[in-house]
Structure 1
Amino acid sequence: MPGFEEIFDRIKVATNTRTQVELAEVLDIRQSSISDAKRRDSVPSDWYLKLFEKYGLNPDWLKSGLGPMYLKSEQGYEPYDGPQAASLREEAAKYAEPDSKSQIITVFGMQGIDAATGKWMPKSIGKLSIPLSLARPSITVVKMDASSMEPLIRRSAYVGLDTDQKNILSGELYGVFIPFEGLGIRRIFLDEEKGRFVLRTENSDHPEQYLPVEKRDERVVGRAVWVLQQL
């Protein structure tokens, strides 16, 4: 039988949770219950039921990694080795489609700076429920606290940064650490002649800033791939 850690890893992948605190919120249980399950090296049966009801997750996939991650709602639950296993392997449940289900994620502030390294240090400022299709493991969500990108991105908007996308495409938006300021959302352009990137805002009251090419990996957090805001 698979142990707690193996199943726990699959649960985190499926629910896009990173910590025991976040998983406790998803399962609506105390964090101490997760610690107890880890100590016993066993996942409680009611977790499977909650994950099935909330996300349509296949209990057999959670236990063994076999079969589909989701189950068809019109057919209900069918064991992986049951007669309909082949058809279940083909598609997810309608109620588990990414745009019809939500995920609770952590939102980070933009001002956190590590005093020791001088780099941006993500600090949690709250939670947000977003469609599963937006909640990829590589996404870091920040809340805008400035008007530098208005009117395109308003103050208090939520911005999803894909930390797997750090290669610069000129004209696209990225989250960039700016010394003494914190994280900023900027439209980036390559100035090849001077060996630097030009960082521009949408608000003309804010001046251009510059990023040496060799500092890209150090200071670019990720590409902005979605924005949630009120119009």
Structure 2
Amino acid sequence: MPKKKRQCDEAQLKWFEEALERIKKATGARTQVQLAEVLDVRQSSISDAKRRCSIPAEWFLKLYRSHGLDPDWLSDGVEPVYLNESKAKIPADTLLRESPAPYGRMNSRGRVLPVSTMAGSRKENPTWEPNPIEELSVPESFCRPKLQVVKVDSASMEPVIARGAFVGIDCAQKEHPDGDLCAVHFPHQGLTIRRVFMQGDSFVLKAENDKHSDLTIPAAEMEDRTVGRVVWVLQNVSPL
């Protein structure tokens, strides 16, 4: 009898798809044809790899040689992105924003980061500066070059973000797509985290909690007062 082909389970397929997506993002390959050209393989080789849920080791070696990419990042999202940045085609910050960040893998490493209050070091400062009060271990794939972790002391975003939650803020991201969660500085008050929407010449910062009023900031001030965009939240889930 012919030997039965091994089937991928759900976890293996998810790993393969995430790793392949990182490869596509880092090389700019949008189609299987373009990816085959970058890897210098036949298209059928990519189909075979997907069927096996396995990426050949020589692909990682080729991508290191051609693009300076770290095989650990390609495989598991473990930073750094590049081992040789001189060959980088796309900035690492861009790739970290756009590529999937796996969580909970058995071989995932952690990193201990300082956690600041939302008030910051001095409330009267025109710009927000962190005031570390404790430390938190997070998966390394959650880390960014300009990441700031704060502990939420407000109920304005409940139930989406509970009081006491830890929030990761990417300070390299200052854009304001409608509906995104952003951390914005209010002098003499500290940070507030709200969903941001542009309306005319102003930005409206909307709360999830009906007991808290929405806030408005002139568009001309928004860039200077934006600390960054929220990229992850760690919090306890209340039992149903």
Q: Determine what percentage of the aligned residue pairs are the same residue.
A: 39
CA shift at 1:114, angstroms? 3.3
Q: 1:222 aligns with which of 228, 231, 236?
A: 228
Asked if structure 2 preserves the Cα contact closer than 8 Å seen for 1:95 and 1:101, the reply is no
Residue 207 (structure 2) aligns with: 201
Residue 210 (structure 1) aligns with: 216
Matched residue SS, 2:197: strand
Inter-CA distance 142–92: structure 2 relative to 1 (3 Å threshold):
same
Residue 162 (structure 1) aligns with: 170
User: Aligned partners of 2:123 and 2:199: how far apart in 1?
Assistant: 30
Cα distance per residue 1:97-119 (max 9 Å; x no partner): 63411011111110125366333
1:91 lines up with 2:71 in the alignment: yes
Which range is displaced more, 208-217 or 110-119? 110-119
Residue 118 (structure 2) aligns with: 110
Asked if structure 2 preserves the Cα contact closer than 8 Å seen for 1:138 and 1:163, the reply is yes
Asked if structure 2 preserves the Cα contact closer than 8 Å seen for 1:175 and 1:185, the reply is yes
Residue 134 (structure 1) aligns with: 142
Which runs of 5 or more structure 1 residues have no equivalent in the other structure? 1-85
CA shift at 1:178, angstroms? 1.8
User: Aligned partners of 1:191 and 1:88: how far apart in 2?
Assistant: 44
Asked if structure 2 preserves the Cα contact closer than 8 Å seen for 1:144 and 1:154, the reply is yes
Equivalent residues in 2 for 1:50-89 (5 A)?
none
Residue 70 (structure 1) aligns with: none
Give me the CA root mean square deviation: 2.6
Matched residue SS, 1:187: strand
Which runs of 5 or more structure 2 residues have no equivalent in the other structure? 1-60, 65-69, 79-102
Inter-CA distance 223–148: structure 2 relative to 1 (3 Å threshold):
same
Residue 50 (structure 1) aligns with: none
Cα distance per residue 1:205-224 (max 9 Å; x no partner): 11111111111121100000
User: Aligned partners of 1:176 and 1:218: how far apart in 2?
Assistant: 9
Residue 181 (structure 2) aligns with: 173
User: Aligned partners of 2:109 and 2:121: how far apart in 1?
Assistant: 34
What is the TM-score of this pair, normalised by structure 1?
A: 0.57
Asked if structure 2 preserves the Cα contact closer than 8 Å seen for 1:113 and 1:182, the reply is no
CA shift at 1:88, angstroms? 11
